[in-house]
Amino acid sequence: MQNAKLKFMSFLLVTMFSLGAINYSYNEKILQFPCVDRSYSTSFDKNPQDNVRYGDSEKKIIKNYEKREGILEVLANIYSVRQKFSEKTYVYPGGDLIGIDLYTDGIICVEFEDLKAGGEIISSPAKKAGILHADIITHVNGQKVDSADEFERIISDLAQDICEVTIKRKDVMLKKKVGIVKCDDKAKRIGLWVRDNVMGLGTISFITQDREDFAALGHPISDSSTGITVPVKNGELIGADVLSIVKGRKNHPGEIRGIIRKTDELKATITQNSEFGIYGKIISDKLISDRDLIELAPRSEVHAGDAKIITTIDNERKEYDIIIEEVYTQDEPATKSMMIKITDEDLIEKTGGIIQGMSGSPIIQNGKLVGVVTHVLTGDPKRGYAIYSEWMIKKCIGCQNTTASANGK
């Protein structure tokens, strides 16, 4: 029933992680927008890679792999969902604006280019070899590739005019023979643009009771050019300040513009980028030094009615009024667990509703953490989606340490 309703919505859906071109200095990174978040239509479950064309042999490999892995995934989901909260779970609520600096595991193929050599235009060797948009390069001639600079260096150092490129495509490893062209400017290239880093703004959702782990965003960080979920090698959370607000309006999502800066209040490493947000380890917990624990509600306790979100708009973490309009029955984890509406006049005046950068803002109902803001409906920026906090805590690293009595609460 839920899917039927969603199919007929005339809204566009936008994930709320703000990305942009970045002007870098040692201690701070200024995000220059407009942001380049992907937005997508009501068929939001469609994977951008579904449009990729594969050869027959590649289709067979992928099909066999997905069949085997799919069974394991279903069994894992069933086990996870059937687990009950035998004890109450407590967390420190977030709501703080954060900077996110993420480095990819492998490098992402984002664009092809034709090359100039000997006064002629040569079609991209990478494209001709069968490398596709959104493939992830892991090795060249057996050498592990950890960055775009390293990729360029390896290609430049090769004596031969053909190299073997190992790529990851939908979790399947493939190898391609790619020609190397010595261009008119003497540089060696294969006609491919790649990316190894993603940066942006978001909101932290919660920190676990033992102060060791965090969760943020409520949805994955996706590459702006390809739409794929960015594979994580490493990354960090950094402090952030609001510079200005672009107010949201119908069909024009708003955004937070800000500065990413080093701070002693928040230091954390990113270890996961999943369907349900980003997760990692806390190094410095000064951010929550004066914050109380609150109970995390199981999804069975979430209901339609009044609630609040905690978010940062004027460089101040505050609560704002919302209504949970509809709660969706979910027997397995999914990102769109409830429909919410911003009702707080102060927040509407400042932002127009939900804007990019608010992704991850915790939702409080009856004094408990019930969910996290994830998306805005661009047709009505006062409305959007949220994920159950129960799904996020189950994904969080080390969350087994959070189930305990609220000693010291």
| Burial of 381 from C-beta contacts in 10 A (0-12 / 13-18 / 19+) | buried
Q: What are phi and psi of 304, to 5 degrees?
A: -65, 140
The answer to whether the beta carbons of residues 255 and 35 sit under 8 Å apart is yes
Tell me 64's DSSP state.
H
Nearest-angstrom CA–CA distance, 45 and 28 = 36
The catalytic residue positions are 219, 344, 359
Amino acid at 283: I
Q: Which structure tokens are listed for 24?
A: 């870098």
112 beta partners:
192
DSSP string of 89-119, one letter each residue: EEEEE---EEEEEEEEEEEEEEEE--EEETT
| Burial of 383 from C-beta contacts in 10 A (0-12 / 13-18 / 19+) | buried
